[in-house]
Amino acid sequence: MTSSKISARGFFGKLVRNQLFIPLVALLILVAINLFADPTFFKISLEPSSTGNLILSGNLISIIDNASELAILAIGMTLVTSASGGQDISVGATIAIAGSMILRFVKMVSPDISGGKFAAIIILSFLACVIVSALFGAFNGALVAFFKIQPMVATLILFTAGRSIAAWINNNDNISINDTRFGYFGNFIPGIPVPTPVFITAICLIVIALVLKFTNLRLYAQSVGINASSSRLNGINPKLIKLLTFIILGICVAVCGFIKVSRTSSITYSVIANNIEMDAILAVALGGNNLGGGKFNLTASVIGAYVIQFLTTTLFKFKVSSSEISAYKAVVVIILIFISAPVIRNWIADVRNKNLASRKSKIGKEAN
């Protein structure tokens, strides 16, 4: 019975059930709408920036640039979702902490220093920030893994406290870095026309791809997320794996915090990365990943992140004001989530199969 069912589903069924299907279709629809409304949307030009560099500009570039933080977060959020069956809602607040940390470290050393030393300071500050962010991730992870607190509740602590901690780190000062070199990481490096965050995102994606290829992270995280008890009896330590995914998310947060503060060379504690946790969770959901944990598809999550940014930029393009944009986004999200629900996808595939079957039987009858 099962075998005949599977073969009957055929190519279309497989396509509809593929996890990349929904985010890719969403992307295509957005592209189509923009092409129809205003083909100049896709125009990319090489123009001199305010500092006199030649840089690429255009909507596509700004989408790819601005989606960077979200794409990087989606990596960690997908892993946390897979292993723990829950989401980390503190990432926006911990990005504030990470950003504040970096500014503090850079500020501690006197500014306006020579090139080589500057690079060293940036690297050291960044590494320190990675460690601290990883520790905050471990804090969340420990609450989830060892104290068995629901991820959303456990991360509610830092969600609430994070921005205050970020403010404390710099005594609530409005810190800004005057050295223009600090802004390279969130904007452009002179002589390179592509925004730097795009490269940082690419590096992160390559690193995680290598990690997934050369370790068993995927198998372990999925096993733990699907059945922790079985995993333990197969020699996996579920607690450690959950902790590990939260630490990885912590590192992603550090990278995001770095990009964020570099974009403006300053920080506003209450605004930086506001609501990004919801977009990150949305990216995971858009990618067709089960928010209850288990199997995951990282590529789909990352494409989901770009879809969200594409949508935001498109709405801006249609002159939707920033206060109204959430409502529009919500409508689109409802539609996307609705069609990405397995129930609906199976239904679509079945309806299609029935049509096929009835057509076939008609043909059969005619032949008789």
Partner 1 sequence: MEAGAILEMRGICKYFPGVRALEKVDFTLREGEIHALMGENGAGKSTLIKVLTGVYPKDAGYVTLSGVPVHIKSPQDAQNIGIATVYQEITLCPNLTVAENMYIGRTRGPFTNWRKINADADHLLDELGIPARAKDQLGNCSIAVQQMVAIARAVDMDCKVLILDEPTSSLDEQEVQKLFKLMRDLKSKGVGIIFVTHFLEQVYEVCDRITVLRDGMLVGEYIIEDLPRVQLVSKMLGKDFDDMAEIKSDSDAEKVDYNGTPVYQAINLTGTTGIKPFNFEIHKGEVNGFTGLLGSGRSESVRAIFGADRVAGGKVMINGKPVTIRKPLDAMKHGISYLPEDRKRDGIVGDLSVRDNIILALQVMKGFFKPFSRAQAEKFADEYIELLNIKTASQDTPIKSLSGGNQQKVILARWLLANPQYLILDEPTRGIDVGTKVEIQKLVLKLASEGKSVTFISSEIDEMIRTCSRLVVLRDGKVVGELKGDDLNQNKIMATIAGGESNDIQ
Binding residues for partner 1 (CB under 8 A)? 1-6, 8, 213-217, 219-220, 222-223, 226-227, 229-237, 294-295
Q: Which is nearer to partner 1, 238 or 304 (CB)?
A: 238
Q: How far apart are the first and last CA of the chain?
A: 27
Least spacing, CB of residue 99 vs partner 1, in Å: 32
Least spacing, CB of residue 237 vs partner 1, in Å: 8
Residue with tokens 């279309």: 12
Least spacing, CB of residue 5 vs partner 1, in Å: 7
Least spacing, CB of residue 236 vs partner 1, in Å: 6
Q: Which is nearer to partner 1, 1 or 271 (CB)?
A: 1
* Phi, psi of 192, deg, nearest 5: -110, 120
Least spacing, CB of residue 246 vs partner 1, in Å: 17
Cα-only R_g, the chain: 23
> How far is the C-alpha of 249 from the C-alpha of 277, rounded, in Å?
12
Q: Which is nearer to partner 1, 186 or 287 (CB)?
A: 287
Q: Which is nearer to partner 1, 100 or 245 (CB)?
A: 245
Q: Which is nearer to partner 1, 122 or 236 (CB)?
A: 236
CB atoms within 10 A of CB 75: 28
* DSSP H helices in the chain: 2-17, 21-37, 59-66, 68-84, 91-108, 115-145, 151-169, 196-214, 217-226, 228-233, 238-264, 276-286, 298-317, 325-340, 342-367
Q: Which is nearer to partner 1, 123 or 240 (CB)?
A: 240
- The answer to whether the CB of 54 falls within 8 A of the CB of 46 is yes
Least spacing, CB of residue 268 vs partner 1, in Å: 41
Residue of 100, 99, 106, 98 lying closest to 135 (CA atoms)? 98
Counting Cβ atoms within 10 Å, is residue 212 exposed (0-12), middle (13-18) or buried (19+)?
middle
